[in-house]
Amino acid sequence: MMTKKSIAVVGSLNMDVILQIMELPEAGETIQTQKSISYAFGGKGSNQAVSCARNGTQVSMIGCLGQDRYGEQFEKMLQKNNVDTRFVKQLANENTGQAYILLQSSGQNSIVVSGEANRLLTTEMIQDSLPVIRDSDFVLAQFEVPLAAIEESFVLARANQSKTVLNPGPVIEGDFEHLYSLTDIIIPNETESEKLTGIKIIDDQTLRDSAEFFHQKGVKVVIITLGELGVYYSNSENNQTGNVEAHVVKAIDTTAAGDTFIGALLSQLDFSFSNLESAISYANFASSLAVQKLGAVDSIPTEEEVKSKIKKS
């Protein structure tokens, strides 16, 4: 392993189209936006890669863009944020992914994603990216790219003693038995956990049952984010479980909260998972900063900003 922590992110790159509204329309209702349409760099993969980089890690992005007006801008943004883009492919005659975000005045959002180029990430592209997977401490993936590509990246990671991290969002249809067996850490929110396990989280027991579902599939560490209720974690290797409280603030935009959390978490987490609780606490501080700004990438804090907030708490 490299002296400086290194992370490979296999994931999506979307241009976010943000529509600010008072509240979601009812069926058949037409509403007006409160402000003009705004655009921001996003996608779960891109957000998580930038969060890792801004919190002090060496990051490589593996994914696909279109050869359109967004593709070149996106690559420049990643490079500006110290993300290695050697294995980001710009595909001819394809569009860069887009996400349409309905941002309510409460700060909550609803998102519709059009995957476009993200859907074309292949196992061959993953194999071509072996140099960065081989040198990474963690390989991180989400469900906004094809399942076959995720599985291939985790197979290569395991073969090269890298830890694998799955953020199973948004939940898709599929058989995940093989993927679970290749996953060291899974990080769903409570809604994603319920969809995957069939267990509605209502108390401590259902949290434990949800974690046990994933442990039985071979996942060592389960981290379930619960919004304002904080984060639950379970490590089957040492039988440690716990809850880490959230840092509740007035939210302006929650779009990148989860992605900021994951990137910040991995920036701090030891390869042995020995500091899991403190890494989660750090990530909670990072997420609380992200929700106080508009946009995805633009809202992700730096390591200096997070540490400053921790000192003031």
Tell me if 47 is assigned to a ligand binding site.
yes
Cis preceding-peptide flag for 170 (omega within 30 of 0): yes
Residue 242 identity (one-letter amino acid) = G
Q: Is 265 annotated as a binding residue?
A: no
Is 230 marked within a binding site?
yes
The answer on whether 229 is annotated among ligand-binding residues is: yes
Q: Is 197 annotated as a binding residue?
A: no
Q: Is 125 annotated as a binding residue?
A: no
Tell whether residue 35 is among the known ligand binding residues: no
Q: Is 218 annotated as a binding residue?
A: no
Measuring CA to CA, which residue among 297, 305, 225 is closest to residue 256? 297
Q: Is 80 annotated as a binding residue?
A: no
209 is catalytic: no
Residue 15 annotated as part of some ligand binding site: yes
Say if residue 84 carries a ligand binding annotation. Answer: no
Q: SS3 letters for the chain?
A: CCCCCEEEEECCCEEEEEEEECCCCCCCCCCCCCCCCEEEEECHHHHHHHHHHHCCCEEEEEEEEECCHHHHHHHHHHHHCCEEEEEEEEECCCCCEEEEEEEECCCCEEEEEECHHHHHCCHHHHHHCHHHHHCCCEEEEECCCCHHHHHHHHHHHHHCCCEEEEECCCCCCCCCHHHHHCCCEECCEHHHHHHHHCCCCCCHHHHHHHHHHHHHCCCCEEEEECHHHCEEEEECCCCEEEEECCCCCCCCCCCCHHHHHHHHHHHHCCCCCCCHHHHHHHHHHHHHHHCCCCCCHHHCCCHHHHHHHHHHC
Report whether 97 belongs to an annotated binding site.
no
Residue 212 marked in a binding site: no
Q: Is 234 labelled as part of a ligand binding site?
A: no
Catalytic residue among 135, 259, 270, 298: 259
Q: Which residues carry a binding-site annotation for ATP?
A: 189, 225-230, 258-259, 284
Q: Which residues carry a binding-site annotation for K(+)?
A: 253, 255, 290, 293, 295, 299
Provide the annotated active-site residues: 259
Q: Which residues carry a binding-site annotation?
A: 14-16, 43-47, 144, 189, 225-230, 253, 255, 258-259, 284, 290, 293, 295, 299
Q: Which residues carry a binding-site annotation for substrate?
A: 14-16, 43-47, 144, 259
